[in-house]
Amino acid sequence: MSKLSEFRAAERQLAAQLAQLEKMKQDSGLQQELAFNDALRALMDEYGLSNRQVLAILRSAPGN
């Protein structure tokens, strides 16, 4: 495969992935997850908690 054909194939793959990314950005479920993630990160920063500490809290919750 020539360099030009490799380049064109990579361009097509990139265009397809960018289209998929734009479609995903419009998904309301993803938007909710991103908002939750942002809110959780803000709370973790506010209280000085690490990922590990949050997981330990969740694992120790009743029903787990």
Q: What is the pTM of this model?
A: 0.65
Q: Is there a contact between 50 and 44 (Cβ–Cβ < 8 Å)?
A: yes
Write phi, then psi, for 48 (nearest 5 degrees).
65, 35
pLDDT by position in tens, the chain (length 64): 799 999 999 999 999 999 999 999 999 999 999 999 999 999 999 999 999 999 999 999 887 6
pLDDT at 1: 75
pLDDT at 3: 96
How far apart are alpha carbons 24 and 19 in whole angstroms? 9
pLDDT at 38: 97
How far apart are alpha carbons 5 and 41 in whole angstroms? 44
* 3-state DSSP assignment of residue 53: helix
